[in-house]
Every structure is written in structure tokens, then in C-alpha cells.
């Protein structure tokens, strides 16, 4: 099991790579790029 700090660092790294700042923006990014089906 990962520590909370490890998870935060991993999340922050993903945010930087995708140029997003919030989890909401990440969800929008997913939908816009076809990773998540918004109809479900």
C-alpha cells in the first residue's frame, strides 16, 4: 500500500504532464479526449 504522500506526488506529476490543476479539470480532459464516456 502506498503512503498518502506518494499518491499525492504521483497525482501532481500527472497533473503537470497533462497541464491541469484540479480533479474536475482532469475529468473534463478525460471526457474531451475520449478516455471516459460522459453518457454513462
Q: CA dist 13 to 7, 16, 25, Å?
A: 10, 5, 15
**Confidence (pLDDT) at 36:** 85
pLDDT for 20-36, tens place per residue? 999 999 999 999 999 98
Domain borders along the chain are 1-40
**H/E run at residue 5:** helix 4-18
Q: SS3 for 17?
A: helix
Report d(CA 11, CA 17) in Å as an integer: 10
Average pLDDT over residues 7-32: 95
Tell me the pTM. 0.70
Confidence of residue 37 (pLDDT cuts 50, 70, 90): confident
Query: In the predicted model, is pLDDT for residue 12 greater than 80?
Result: yes
Amino acid at each position: 500500500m502506498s503512503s498518502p504522500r506518494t499518491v499525492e506526488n504521483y497525482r501532481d506529476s500527472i497533473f503537470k504532464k497533462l497541464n491541469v490543476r484540479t480533479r474536475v479539470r482532469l475529468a473534463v480532459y478525460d471526457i474531451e479526449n475520449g478516455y471516459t464516456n460522459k453518457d454513462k
